[in-house]
Protein backbone atom coordinates (compact mmCIF):
# COMPACT_ATOMS: atom_id res chain seq x y z
CA UNK A 1 0.00 0.00 0.00
CA UNK A 2 1.10 3.55 -0.69
CA UNK A 3 2.73 5.44 2.16
CA UNK A 4 2.47 8.99 0.83
CA UNK A 5 -0.39 11.23 -0.18
CA UNK A 6 1.22 11.80 -3.58
CA UNK A 7 1.49 8.04 -4.14
CA UNK A 8 -2.22 7.63 -3.47
CA UNK A 9 -2.98 10.40 -5.95
CA UNK A 10 -0.70 8.73 -8.50
CA UNK A 11 -2.62 5.45 -8.10
CA UNK A 12 -5.92 7.26 -8.70
CA UNK A 13 -4.67 9.18 -11.73
CA UNK A 14 -3.02 6.08 -13.23
CA UNK A 15 -6.26 4.16 -13.00
CA UNK A 16 -8.25 6.89 -14.73
CA UNK A 17 -5.63 7.23 -17.48
CA UNK A 18 -5.56 3.46 -17.93
CA UNK A 19 -9.32 3.26 -18.38
CA UNK A 20 -9.28 6.10 -20.93
CA UNK A 21 -6.42 4.50 -22.89
CA UNK A 22 -8.23 1.16 -22.84
CA UNK A 23 -11.41 2.77 -24.16
CA UNK A 24 -9.58 4.56 -26.99
CA UNK A 25 -7.68 1.41 -27.96
CA UNK A 26 -10.83 -0.72 -28.01
CA UNK A 27 -12.69 1.89 -30.07
CA UNK A 28 -9.90 1.90 -32.67
CA UNK A 29 -9.78 -1.90 -32.80
CA UNK A 30 -13.55 -2.04 -33.36
CA UNK A 31 -13.26 0.55 -36.15
CA UNK A 32 -10.48 -1.48 -37.82
CA UNK A 33 -12.59 -4.63 -37.57
CA UNK A 34 -15.58 -2.81 -39.06
CA UNK A 35 -13.42 -1.55 -41.94
CA UNK A 36 -12.11 -5.05 -42.66
CA UNK A 37 -15.64 -6.49 -42.63
CA UNK A 38 -17.12 -3.81 -44.91
CA UNK A 39 -18.80 -5.26 -47.98
CA UNK A 40 -18.32 -2.55 -50.60
CA UNK A 41 -15.13 -0.82 -51.63
CA UNK A 42 -16.89 2.55 -51.56
CA UNK A 43 -17.89 2.06 -47.93
CA UNK A 44 -14.36 0.99 -47.00
CA UNK A 45 -12.85 4.06 -48.67
CA UNK A 46 -15.29 6.23 -46.77
CA UNK A 47 -14.28 4.69 -43.41
CA UNK A 48 -10.53 4.64 -44.11
CA UNK A 49 -9.68 8.28 -43.18
CA UNK A 50 -11.60 7.93 -39.90
CA UNK A 51 -9.74 4.76 -38.96
CA UNK A 52 -6.37 6.26 -39.90
CA UNK A 53 -7.16 9.27 -37.73
CA UNK A 54 -7.94 7.00 -34.75
CA UNK A 55 -4.69 5.08 -35.28
CA UNK A 56 -2.70 8.32 -35.46
CA UNK A 57 -4.24 9.54 -32.21
CA UNK A 58 -3.29 6.29 -30.46
CA UNK A 59 0.25 6.62 -31.74
CA UNK A 60 0.52 10.28 -30.73
CA UNK A 61 -0.55 9.49 -27.17
CA UNK A 62 1.84 6.51 -26.92
CA UNK A 63 -0.98 4.02 -26.54
CA UNK A 64 0.49 2.04 -29.43
CA UNK A 65 4.00 2.24 -30.89
CA UNK A 66 4.50 4.45 -33.95
CA UNK A 67 5.78 1.51 -36.01
CA UNK A 68 2.69 -0.53 -35.15
CA UNK A 69 0.55 2.39 -36.28
CA UNK A 70 2.46 2.58 -39.55
CA UNK A 71 2.07 -1.17 -40.09
CA UNK A 72 -1.67 -1.04 -39.41
CA UNK A 73 -2.19 1.86 -41.80
CA UNK A 74 -0.12 0.16 -44.49
CA UNK A 75 -2.02 -3.13 -44.21
CA UNK A 76 -5.38 -1.35 -44.29
CA UNK A 77 -4.45 0.70 -47.33
CA UNK A 78 -3.34 -2.51 -49.11
CA UNK A 79 -6.65 -4.10 -48.18
CA UNK A 80 -8.55 -1.25 -49.80
Instruction: Express each pLDDT in 32-63 by its tens digit.
Output: 999 999 999 999 999 999 999 999 999 999 99
Contacts (Cβ under 8 Å, ≥6 apart) of 61: 21, 24
Reported as a pLDDT band with limits 50, 70 and 90, residue 77 is: very high
Question: Using one digit for the tens of pLDDT, what is the confidence trace for 13-27?
Answer: 999 999 999 999 999
d(CA 28, CA 65): 14
- Residue 78, classified by CB atoms within 10 Å of its CB into exposed (0-12), middle (13-18) or buried (19+), is exposed
Could you tell me the residue ranges of all domains in the chain?
31-80
- CB-based burial label for 3 (10 Å; 0-12, 13-18, 19+): exposed
Global pTM reads 0.84
Amino acid sequence: MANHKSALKRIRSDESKRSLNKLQHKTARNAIKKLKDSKSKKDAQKQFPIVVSLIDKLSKNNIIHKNKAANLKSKLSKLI
